[in-house]
Amino acid sequence: MEKIFLCAISNINSGTCNEDCKFCSQSVKFKADIERYKQKPIVDIVDEAKTAYSNGALGFCLVTANKGIDDKILNFVCDVAKAVTKEVPQLRLIACNGTASVSQLQTLKDAGIKAYNHNLETSENFYKEICTTHPWSERYETCQNVNKVGLKLITGGIFGLGESDEDRVSMLESIKSLNPTSVPLNFFHPNPALPLKPKKLGVDEALSLIRISKEILGDDIERLMVAGGREITFGDRQDEIFEYGANSIVIGNYLTTSGRDKSKDYEMLERLGFGVATSKDLKNA
C-alpha cells in the first residue's frame, strides 16, 4: 500500500513581515485582513503539535513571518523546538524562518530541527516581478546553506503568479539542482488586499503542472507535496493530484488561509487505497 506523507503547519509568528512579496498576505505593506502577532505562546504551539500528530501528521512546520532569522527569532524557534520535542518526540520538526546563515541553521539543528523549508517561489528571472526588497539569489543561497549543515532541505514554489511556462521550468530546474528531500507545490491563493491579480489556473492546467514537476524533478525527490491553494485550485478533483505524482499533502490550515476538514482528507485517502506514512517509512530519518 502506498503511503501519503502528511504535514501540518504552525504559524508561530504572523503578519509581521516588511518585505513586499506581492503574493503574500503576511506583508505589512498590503494590510491584508489577517491575524497578526509576534510570538504565539509556546504552550499553544505544543498543543497544535499534539493535535497534528493525533491527526496523522508526521511533519510539523514552525513558520515565522519575516525576511530571515535574527537572534530573537532564532532563540524563539529553538525554544519552541525543544518544547515540542519534549512533548511530541515522534514529530519531524521543520523550520521555515526565511533566509538563514550556516551558523543559524546549525543552531536550529542542535535544538532538534530536522528539516528546513525555504521556497524559491518562482524562477530567478520572474522573481523581480513579484518582490523588490530582496533578491532571488538570497533564497537560493539559504537552500545551499541548509545542505551544508546536513538538515533535510524542503524547497518549492508557487504556480499561478503570472509566470510563463519557461519560468516554471526554470524554477523546477533550480529546485532540482539543490537536491531537496521534499518539494512543496503551492498554487496562488488570492487575497483582495494583494496587488497581484493573475488569471486563475484551471484544474487541468494545475494537474499538468504536478505532472511536469514530477518529470523534471525525477525519482530522487522523496516527496512531492501539494500544499497551499489545494482546496481552491482543485475543488472536488483533489483526489486526482496523486495520479499526477503527488505523494504528500498539508493537513489542516495553512498560514493565513483555512484548509478543509481533516475528515475529508482521510476519507479521500481511504477511498483511494492510500495509507498514512509513519516515521518508519522515512528514508534516512
pLDDT at residue number 268: 92
What is this structure's pTM? 0.93
Residue 196 has pLDDT above 90, yes or no: no
Give per-residue pLDDT as tens, 158-184.
999 999 999 999 999 999 999 999 999
Give per-residue pLDDT as tens, 61-104.
999 988 789 999 999 999 999 999 999 999 999 999 999 999 99
pLDDT confidence tier of residue 28, bands split at 50, 70 and 90: low
Average pLDDT value for residue range 6-14? 87
List of residues 6+ apart from 280 with CB closer than 8 A? none
Domain 3-281, architecture per CATH: Alpha-Beta Barrel (3.20)
Identify the CA nearest to 57 among candidates 256, 284, 278.
278
Average pLDDT value for residue range 216-237? 91
Tell me the percentage of the chain whose pLDDT exceeds 70: 86
Residue 175 cell numbers, joined? 529546485
Domain chopping of the chain, boundaries: 3-281
Identify the CA nearest to 57 among candidates 96, 98, 94, 102.
94
